[in-house]
Structure 1
Amino acid sequence: MKFEVENTMIDFNIQYGNGKKLSIQIDSVGFITVKAPKDNSKEMIISAIESNGKWILEKLEEIRKARELPQAREYHAHGKFLYMGKERPLHELINCSDVNEEVLKKRLKKFYMARCKEIVEKRIKIYQKQLKVKPKIIEIVESKVKWGSCSSDRKITFNFRLAMAPIEVIDYVIIHELCHITHMNHDRSFWRRVGSVMPDYKEKEEYLARHSHSMLL
């Protein structure tokens, strides 16, 4: 959802749960999540965002300034890396014992390649049934410019860095590329098809646009 606070438009996601109190969380890359009780209306949530507007804007400004500074990846056991949308210490992802930085980089890339393949192969089965299409070949690749691609011969590729994204964002890229099997262009028919499976796909696009800089090795 979007809401204007002090002439600034902010984006946030809502997660409904069994908790009794509403909370606002902002992660290290500025992604805002409102966790709300199931019986909270959107009006109540927007009111909470508005009343916390100053704090939200201050926090986002802190994150923006931090992002302007060059940040080298820390390849040691407690260095932080994204996996499935959350920052994890490196030792939770790979074996960090008795190796140098170069070996850690190779191990981490191999980890992401394997996890991305595993996730995509599982999730794509769900959406190819819904869309009634089936890719001929699925590959996990390294790319600096594309999250996924689909060729006219039904070969679909996915960027291994997708393993760093939340599952719903990975799902969006899968749906996007599957829809290209029947609609090779980004025309109205294509977007209608994407929207028929994932109505809030624009939020997922925005996530990738905002956070791609942090989804790097």
Structure 2
Amino acid sequence: MRTFHIGQTVIPYEIDWVADRETLDLSLDHSLELTVRAPMTMTIDEVEDVLESRREWLLEKLYHLKEQSEPPYPREYLSGEKLPYRGRQYRLDVIEADVPEPQLSFDGNEFTLRTHRFDAPSDHVSIRRKRQAIVDWYLQRADADLPERSERYEAKLGLSSVPIEVGELEGSWGEYLDGTIRLNWRLILAPVRIQDYVIVHELAHNVHDDHSDAFWNTVGTLTPDYKDRREWLRVNGNSLVV
């Protein structure tokens, strides 16, 4: 994964080299990751020259993404659907297996959901069972990954071993209470830079009680583009569902 910088704004991007392609095409999804489809004959420098020439277009796409008033349509958890994880979308493959309960696994490229043969795709109970298995997997990943990301920033604030609790938070991505940080498990669906923003935001409350200028200066010290990250969460937060 490469990155392109516009001021302090960092845009992750990957290049899809296409043998028969003659022109370069750009697409930016809701994870704010850029996909570049380029001819095989193009060099990296030439790709970045095009990105430089499209700065205004990229900024417009970044800051004027259509806000989602409603979350995505409910999933049925069928093969071919995609599940979000750390800001990217991965294909879901559903297979029949000798399991009492649905079980989700991830190999780095694709999710696999193993289900009992009685978990019919159109059955509402089966859909709930499949969703619960998926949520349980995300909860486990969030419980393992988010505290580890917090450790990257604690020392910079003179903190150590800040307690992190991961779970269901109603109407909040994170909160700080009595020395403990609580994080919404759905953050694991977001790009890691968004996870980091929420973590830094809550860690800063160890130092500053309210959202004063000093508080935001602390947040900005660790995440200089925090306004961009905060805006991404405001615009795309409703899409972080399974």
The TM tier, using the shorter chain, reads 0.7 to 0.9
Unaligned runs of 5+ in 1: 3-11
Offset of residue 34 of structure 1: 7.3
Q: How does 1:153-192 map to 2 (within 5 A)?
A: 153-192=178-217
Select 1:121's aligned residue among 137, 147, 157.
Answer: 147
Aligned equivalents of 2:77 and 2:163: distance in 1?
34
Aligned residues: CA RMSD? 3.8
Q: 1:90 aligns to what SS in structure 2?
A: strand
Structure with a larger share of its residues in helix:
1
User: TM-score when scaled to structure 2?
Assistant: 0.68
Q: How does 1:92-111 map to 2 (within 5 A)?
A: 92-98=110-116, 99=119, 100-111=126-137
Offset of residue 112 of structure 1: 1.1
Offset of residue 33 of structure 1: 3.0
User: TM-score when scaled to structure 1?
Assistant: 0.74
Offset of residue 48 of structure 1: 2.0
**Based on CA coordinates, which of the two structures has the bigger radius of gyration?**
2
Q: Does structure 2 retain, via aligned residues, the 8 Å contact 1:149–1:177?
A: yes
C-alpha spacing 1:13/1:187, structure 2 compared with 1 (3 Å) = same
Give the length in aligned residue pairs. 200
2:174 paired with 1:148: yes
Question: Residue 11 of structure 2 aligns with which residue?
Answer: 14
Structure with a larger share of its residues in strand:
2
Q: Could you list the per-position Cα deviations for residues 86-117 of structure 1 after superposition, in whole angstroms to 9, with x for gaps in the alignment?
A: 11123333533223211111111111111111
Q: Does structure 2 retain, via aligned residues, the 8 Å contact 1:135–1:154?
A: no
Q: How does 1:18-167 map to 2 (within 5 A)?
A: 24-27=26-29, 29=30, 31=32, 33=34, 37=44, 45-50=51-56, 64=66, 71-91=73-93, 92-98=110-116, 99=119, 100-134=126-160, 136-151=162-177, 153-167=178-192
Question: Residue 7 of structure 1 aligns with which residue?
Answer: none
Offset of residue 192 of structure 1: 0.2
Question: Residue 205 of structure 1 aligns with which residue?
Answer: 230
Q: Does structure 2 retain, via aligned residues, the 8 Å contact 1:75–1:104?
A: yes
Question: Residue 219 of structure 2 aligns with which residue?
Answer: 194
Q: 1:14 aligns to what SS in structure 2?
A: strand
Aligned equivalents of 2:32 and 2:87: distance in 1?
10
